[in-house]
Amino acid sequence: MTRILAAEPAAIAEAATILKRGGLVSFPTETVYGLGARGLHKDEVAKIFAAKGRPPGHPVILHVDGEEMARGLAAEWPPVASELARRFWPGPLTIVVPRAAHVPPEVSGGLDTVGIRAPAHPVALALIRAVGEPLAAPSANIHTMVSPTKAGDVASAAWKEPVELVLDGGPCEIGIESTVVAVGSGPLRILRPGAVTLEQLRAVDPDAVDGTTVIEGDEARAAPGMASRHYAPSAHETRLLPYGDAAAFPDLAIEGGRKSRSGKYSVAAIVLSDAVRRAAEAQALQLRTMIVMPADPALYARGLYAALRDADKHASHLILVESPPDTPAWTAVLDRLRRATHR
Ligand code: TXA
Ligand code: MG
């Protein structure tokens, strides 16, 4: 198991020392925990890919302490990028801009762009400043598995390359990854929904669009990071139940679950509406566990990955997740659930 230290000044200094000699360190951000290495050193970035088992075509985000450091990584930093940084940094927004020549192409999976973010977490910012350079950091999970929102999630993962230290900054406040927005010649384009919404981006560019797509199989390699299966628990199957569809619950629970040795169906339910909660309660004998999610989208997002991990611990056959309503407030959560349940 990887070592965890409370994120106090001495631990942050130690983490910076490890990074400066080329090691991997996990640190908290306001979205999820990141797995960090120095972003301008391609051999160190390669260790991140090796540790996660991440295919080389997937770009990683460079974490900076603010706009000035970001400008140094971009071949072009247009006025709209400044406006985004001014409004949303530090915070859960990754800005994709043309990549400066000295940023190793390995960082962005060979693309000529680079994703940059200033995280709104004092520990992340202190670490970036202590190292004095941008930190490459994808979410600190094994490739395709559920992202970590607690230090223990990182420490217990089966890393394929040593992660020397996890800085424990407590649970992540937002709980899902940043919004990724591409700044190019056309309008702003969301590549991954997150806490910064399309509506908020339209205050900067009224023509901003949602460019999120779920891409299948081989095409996923052509469009890095958009792979359809992601954020996935290891349970045999994870399925989405339509919002409020209490009538469909019993069949899905029974059909999807297989009798386990204990006599209970190996099914976990993650529910949201009162109707489906009641249906699940009526089916309690068939369930290993039932997790009731908050009705507020931000609180739901904060608890989502912990719920998926918890359900995964209890149920080895089926996780049944009630989908939230398909409204703008739920875009980011729905995106993660669709990817987690994609087969
Ligand atoms: O909240 C977050 O963004 C977290 C924390 C640690 O900051 N990081 C994170 O990184 O989620 P990761 O590597 O798991 O996801 C980065 C995603 C990629 O999968 C891709 O979708 C997008 O960001 N991305 C990064 N650079 C890109 C680029 N140059 N072009 C297109 N997409 C890019
Ligand atoms: Mg990730």
Of 180, 212, 229, the one to substitute when testing ligand 1's pocket (max ligand atoms within 8 A of C-beta) is: 180
The sign of the torsion formed by the CA atoms of 128, 130, 131, 137 equals: negative
- Cβ atoms 126, 36 nearer than 8 A: no
Of 94, 142, 147, 215, the one to substitute when testing ligand 1's pocket (max ligand atoms within 8 A of C-beta) is: 94
| Nearest CA residue ID for atom 7, ligand 1 | 34
Quick one: pLDDT at residue 231? 75
State the distance from the centre of ligand 2 to the C-alpha of 130, rounded, in angstroms: 24
DSSP string, 247-284: GGHHHHHHHH--B-TTSSB-EEEEE-SHHHHHHHHHTG
Beta carbons within 8 Å of 313's beta carbon, 6+ residues apart: none
Helices (H), 178-325: 198-202, 219-222, 249-256, 274-282, 297-314
Helices (H), the chain: 9-20, 42-52, 67-71, 79-88, 122-131, 151-155, 198-202, 219-222, 249-256, 274-282, 297-314, 331-341
State the distance from the centre of ligand 1 to the C-alpha of 178, rounded, in angstroms: 8
| Nearest CA residue ID for atom 29, ligand 1 | 114
Length of the chain as a residue count: 343
Determine whether the shortest distance from the Cβ of 177 to ligand 1 is under 6 A: yes
Residue type, 173: E
Query: What is the C-alpha separation between 2 and 158, in angstroms, rounded?
Result: 9
| Nearest CA residue ID for atom 3, ligand 1 | 178
| C-beta neighbour count of 54 within 10 angstroms | 20
Determine whether the shortest distance from the Cβ of 117 to ligand 1 is under 6 A: yes
Question: Closest-lying ligand to the alpha carbon of 225?
Answer: 1
Quick one: pLDDT at residue 227? 58
Determine whether the shortest distance from the Cβ of 114 to ligand 1 is under 6 A: yes
Query: What is the C-alpha separation between 104 and 223, in angstroms, rounded?
Result: 19
Atom from ligand 1 closest to the CA of residue 141: 14
Determine whether the shortest distance from the Cβ of 148 to ligand 1 is under 6 A: no
State the distance from the centre of ligand 2 to the C-alpha of 147, rounded, in angstroms: 6
Beta carbons within 8 Å of 148's beta carbon, 6+ residues apart: 26, 32, 33, 139, 140, 141, 154, 157, 305
Q: What's the predicted TM-score (pTM) here? A: 0.94
State the distance from the centre of ligand 2 to the C-alpha of 38, rounded, in angstroms: 18
> Average pLDDT for consecutive 10-residue bins of the chain (343 residues)?
95 98 98 98 98 93 98 98 98 98 96 97 98 98 96 97 97 98 95 97 97 56 55 83 94 70 76 97 87 98 97 88 97 95 79
Determine whether the shortest distance from the Cβ of 180 to ligand 1 is under 6 A: yes
Quick one: pLDDT at residue 261? 55
| Nearest CA residue ID for atom 15, ligand 1 | 138
| C-beta neighbour count of 18 within 10 angstroms | 17
| Nearest CA residue ID for atom 20, ligand 1 | 225
- Cβ atoms 148, 32 nearer than 8 A: yes
Atom from ligand 1 closest to the CA of residue 54: 13
| Nearest CA residue ID for atom 12, ligand 1 | 138
Determine whether the shortest distance from the Cβ of 141 to ligand 1 is under 6 A: no
Query: What is the C-alpha separation between 135 and 44, in angstroms, rounded?
Result: 10
